[in-house]
Structure 1
């Protein structure tokens, strides 16, 4: 079977300049370095990656990334999401990879151990086409639609993802005793499945929730989930930069 050859791994960081909420986000400076460089430097510490590539459709991002030493692949402006940008980037690479890790470019404090964790989880789960990570959801984030929630079965496979509170209860309020799970943005794909992904028609749940991973589940494919202890610090708006910089100063990160 084709999944038995899951050995070579590439990490891809999709990065686009145009954004309705934060124009030019990958180039936003965080303690003097562009955010895309911060993310790349963290991802480069992962032990399971055979290659690390930035995939972009913008010449400014390409030039910036090449200046700090990153490998860059130019992709189409028409890519509808990060997953399809990763797929296009893999096709343009001249090397063959078995696993593709979609690393969010707006996570400048991404833990490299999480990258290694999702890779190892996919390698150990031949019945899964993808793997991802979750962590504990903070109570104050229960109603935040930018914080995607996840539920998993007893074997560690995803049942559903939602922007709403998941699971929901009869009282309609967050239960402070329930271990809600926050989905972290990292996605790990079998390369063969990733090549199929753009050919699968969008699904009703995917479109309603605006969550790519629901197309995978709705078509009957499995997503392996690992639970990690991680304080997510994604950058959604310019106002998030100050808090990221404060955290980095506290950790003595230059």
Structure 2
């Protein structure tokens, strides 16, 4: 089997062109998701999971192929996502032939995309979280996007690599930031307040993805370097589910040892 190629130059458009039209697409573990507004017997019932895997990275070159207890990180992520019950299909999207070859070797479906592809870097993502994000968008016809958050650890409060989120009383995202939000008058983290950490799993409606690439970059998106803000600044609704998850993303080489230690503690092979 050979990877499916695509000529699209943006993440949004390759998701639409490279997969089934009218599908609900969820990008697992550090990626993106899409859901169609076309009504079927069950609203937004066709779901495709996409794990993006880019070789180039300013902080961690070749991250998808780094071994984690003997298996490439991309394989660890794929194996976890395969356990989700809502995904009708799961594919890896990559810009690199080396990653594609490895993925085909362990049985994954692969599509080739542009260098704008991101990275699926949550090798311990719970399949229940994937299912929760899918169901949240299926249940919210007024939203075009869904994602997940968990409690922020105190030691991560000032880490710009840990994206924070604030949510309204209806479960819709208000804002995302690399800084600590909300911020009180003292300028210090409140130990009695539950701050929210954004997890790298997102779900999009397919019809929205056809629009998204044509939306111009927004001021807040560029300042924070967060694509979620492009969605919010253009007035679209984003559903957020709160989950109990000890986030273990791989952002820098030092994170690999932390992941391996945790896997040994949990007897995960």
TM over 0.5: yes
- Counterparts of residues 130-169 of structure 1 (less than 5 Å): 130-169=145-184
State whether residues 37 and 206 of structure 2, in contact with CA within 8 Å, keep that contact through their aligned partners in structure 1. Answer: no
Q: Does 1:115 align with 2:115?
A: no
Are the aligned partners of 1:4 and 1:126 in contact in 2 as well (CA < 8 Å)? no
Structure 1 segments (4+ residues) deviating >4 Å:
none
In structure 2, relative to structure 1, the CA distance for the partners of 1:240 and 1:2 (3 Å cut) is closer
2:63 aligned to 25, 50, 62, which one?
A: 25
Q: Distance in 1 between matches of 2:114 and 2:102?
A: 18
Q: CA deviation at 1:195?
A: 2.0
1:22-61 matches, within 5 Å, as 22-61=60-99
* Distance (Å, rounded) in 2 between the aligned partners of 1:2 and 1:230: 30
Q: Distance in 2 between matches of 1:3 and 1:180?
A: 36
* Structure 1 residues 3 and 205, CA gap change in structure 2 (3 angstroms): farther
| Structure 1 pair 56–150 and aligned structure 2 pair: CA distance change class (3 A) | same
Pick the structure with more helix per residue.
Answer: 1
Does residue 223 (structure 1) correspond to residue 258 (structure 2)? The answer is: no
Q: Distance in 2 between matches of 1:133 and 1:76?
A: 26
2:113 and 2:157 mapped to 1: Cα distance?
A: 35
Aligned to 1:90: none
After superposition, the C-alpha distances for 1:221-244 in whole angstroms (9 at most, x for unaligned) are 000000000000000111111110
Partners of 2:58 and 2:153 in 1: CA distance = 26
C-alpha distance in 2, partners of 1:158/1:51?
A: 27
- Measured against aligned partners, the alpha-carbon deviations of 1:5-62 in whole angstroms (never above 9, x if no partner) come to 4110001001010111111000000000000000000000000000000000100000
Corresponding residue SS for 1:135: strand
CA contact (8 A) 1:22 1:237 kept: yes
Partner of 1:252: 267
TM-score (norm 1): 0.89
Q: CA deviation at 1:2?
A: 3.2
Q: Which residue is equivalent to 2:12?
A: none
Q: Which stretches in structure 1 are left out of the alignment for 5+ residues?
A: 83-103
Shift, 1:3, TM fit: 4.8
- Normalising by structure 2, we get a TM-score of 0.84
| Secondary structure of 1:2 counterpart | coil
What residue ranges of structure 2 are gaps of 5+ in the alignment? 1-35
Tell me if the contact between 1:62 and 1:72 (Cα under 8 Å) persists in the aligned partners. yes
Please give the root-mean-square deviation of Cα atoms over the aligned residues, in Å.
Answer: 1.1
Pick the aligned partner of 1:177 from 192, 201, 206: 192
Partner of 1:214: 229
